[in-house]
Amino acid sequence: MFKTRLISGIVLVAAALVLIITGGNVLFLATLLISYIGMFELYRIFHIEKELPGIVSYLAATVYYLSLKFDFLPDLMAWVLGFLILLMFVYVFTYPKYRTEQIFAAFFGVFYVAVMLSFVYQTRMLAVGAYIVWLIFLCSWGCDTCAYCVGVLIGKHKMSPKLSPKKSVEGAVGGVIGAALLTAIYGMIFREAMGVTTQHVWIMAAISAVGALISMVGDLAASAIKRNYGIKDYGTLIPGHGGILDRFDSVIMTAPIIYFLAANFIVL
């Protein structure tokens, strides 16, 4: 299992490198595809992955992504309301085929998966986004790795014993500090290429620390959903890791935070 997980992890990191370095349409299409798969995994729990509420949600996500690319939605709130109203039409005119929680899950899934993941692409498209986008992974996957190592070495106090008994407070602290340090090192290496000052590098490290905290919430939130519905993994797409949501649970929560903080405090 460890060997499978390690190989899958290496392939995943390599794919992320290629996609994010390439950016542009390649990253746009990849993010959209990953969003579809993540939504499918989530909707499968509620048995709507191939049903009308799910189909409407896939279409809503498509419209949202196309608007990111071609900027044809002057007001995103109109899109939100239109999507909600369309789901209500499905709910009412197919009643009692779908339960209330299935409709809620369909609505939630678009924002939890598609919209939040889209900020990976949006961050990449910022000025110096080719460098800033890596903060998303430094404070999610980096935090996860550092938290695991510190937790194994000195972890004693359970952070969330009922939800994730293996996670410790010491590991969480180590994950936050580790993510900040990794970002500081990364920032110092690419400081001249980014055209930023040393002060900006420390701001990046602080942003990663915040992102690391948020990433742990994302990880635990995804675990909570699985525990509520008695499943071990969201899927089997990534051997040794599970599905898209199992591997990107922390990235989902981190990407919007990094985008907004970077746009306000780093991008010149």
With 0-12 CB in 10 A as exposed, 13-18 as middle and 19+ as buried, what is 157?
exposed
CA 117 to CA 135: how far, in whole Å?
14
Task: Give the residue from 219, 207, 247 showing the smallest Cα distance to 147.
Answer: 219
Task: Give the residue from 107, 136, 131 showing the smallest Cα distance to 120.
Answer: 136
With 0-12 CB in 10 A as exposed, 13-18 as middle and 19+ as buried, what is 2?
exposed
Task: Give the residue from 241, 9, 251 showing the smallest Cα distance to 133.
Answer: 251
Per-residue pLDDT of the chain (268 residues; tens, 9 = 90+): 557 766 877 888 888 889 999 999 999 999 999 999 999 999 999 999 999 999 999 999 999 999 999 999 889 999 999 999 999 999 999 999 999 999 999 999 999 999 999 999 999 999 899 999 999 999 898 888 898 889 888 878 888 888 888 888 899 999 999 999 999 999 999 999 998 899 999 999 999 999 999 999 999 999 899 999 989 889 888 877 789 999 899 999 999 999 999 998 886 5
Q: Which residue is listed with tokens 């949006």?
A: 122
